[in-house]
Structure 1
Amino acid sequence: MALDSILISLTTLNRKCYHYCNITASKDGEEVGVCRSLSGGMFFSHSDAQKWIYTDWLGVEEEFQGQGLGKYLLQYSLQEMHKVGYRHASLSTD
């Protein structure tokens, strides 16, 4: 299945110590992948925490796995967070 027919959308929320970035991949109106990143400021008030993002969810539906979609979603999220000032990242894995 070609990834060129996948629609990618970005949702962000900015507040003083909080930033949320959700990248969603859709095909024919159905969600097929998601990457969600949160600011360290959501968890800690220390100023250093404001430079960190935490990616707590990265998932791709099975039929779309192995095509680079997850990698694309993560890279896109990291680029967007870097644009608004984040310099460090943490990724949770299972």
Structure 2
Amino acid sequence: MRADLTEKTLRYRGLLRAALDDVRKAAPEGSELGRTADDFLIMASSYYKDGVHFMETGDEVNALVCFSYGHAWLDAGVRIGAFRVTKTDLFAA
């Protein structure tokens, strides 16, 4: 069970990192959607950093939660048109 959790956590970490690297803001600066994109990026990046911290302290459960939540912020941003992406396989939208 522990090996499964470790594998899944590392996989989700990689997916979130790749998604963060791929998203680009689609909305004009200063627009409501642009500000939303900024907020979503801050949330996703913060969850990524928190997940890395939890991994470093051996708390893989909370790390996995953080990587999952971070990715959800990016998925939501893609869905509402705040981001454009090139690697569509990384996103549910």
TM beyond 0.5: no
Q: Higher helix proportion, which one? A: 2
Q: Higher strand proportion, which one? A: 1
TM range (shorter): 0.3 to 0.5
Q: Please report the TM-score for the alignment, with normalisation by the length of structure 2.
A: 0.33
Q: Please report the TM-score for the alignment, with normalisation by the length of structure 1.
A: 0.33
> Relative contact order (alpha carbons < 8 A, sep ≥ 6): 1 or 2 greater?
2
